[in-house]
Amino acid sequence: MNDASHLMHATTILMVRKGGRVVIGGDGQVSLGQTIVKGNAKKVRRLAKGSVIGGFAGATADAFTLFERLEGKLEQYPGQLTRACVELTKDWRTDRYLRRLEAMMLVADKEVGLLLSGGGDVIEPEGGIAAIGSGGNYALAAARALAEGDLDAEAVVRRSLAIAAEICVYTNANVVIETLDAA
């Protein structure tokens, strides 16, 4: 595995849709190989004047490029998150520059949540729960179990990210959470 693909997975981003809300949370650790170079990175943010939330796992510069491109697609297709994401992933897969970007994204608006990848994937997860990054599978398993209980979406995300941080060395407990009221 080369260093670039290793960096692609060094984070944890989790999306949960439950009880009329959609929440995306992510840890703040940035790792370069075996070294933690930053502990409070913001990998989750609001887009489209606050109507869309998104998080990324991957190389930071690549993620910023993809967020900028997604913003452009959201301006081109306002209120159409799925269409904007399909157009972004088409460009990502076919553009000579973009296809070299190594990242994955989770994005959501009040109606839909999607997982995006450079392979052309635009996937709406079953049950409204998805996770990406090195700690993604730990957070995903925790969220699926916790979502069946009485916790609200934000509490599920916070607890699941804490569990992932206890297990994954590339995930820390310094989290950023963004929430939207769902349709």
The pTM assigned to this predicted structure is 0.92
82 is catalytic: no
| Mean pLDDT (the chain, rounded) | 90
Q: How far is CA 88 from CA 24, 47, 102, 136, 173, in A?
A: 20, 14, 14, 23, 31
Q: What is the pLDDT of residues 75-131, one digit of tens each?
A: 999 999 999 999 999 988 887 777 777 789 999 999 999 999 888 899 999 999 999
11, 12, 89, 171: which one is catalytic?
11
N residues, the chain: 183
Q: Are 117 and 57 in contact (CB under 8 A)?
A: no
Count of domains in the chain?
1
Output the domain CATH number for residue 87: 3.60.20.10
Residue 58 phi, psi dihedral angles, 5° rounding? 145, -170
The range of the structural domain enclosing residue 68 comes to 3-181
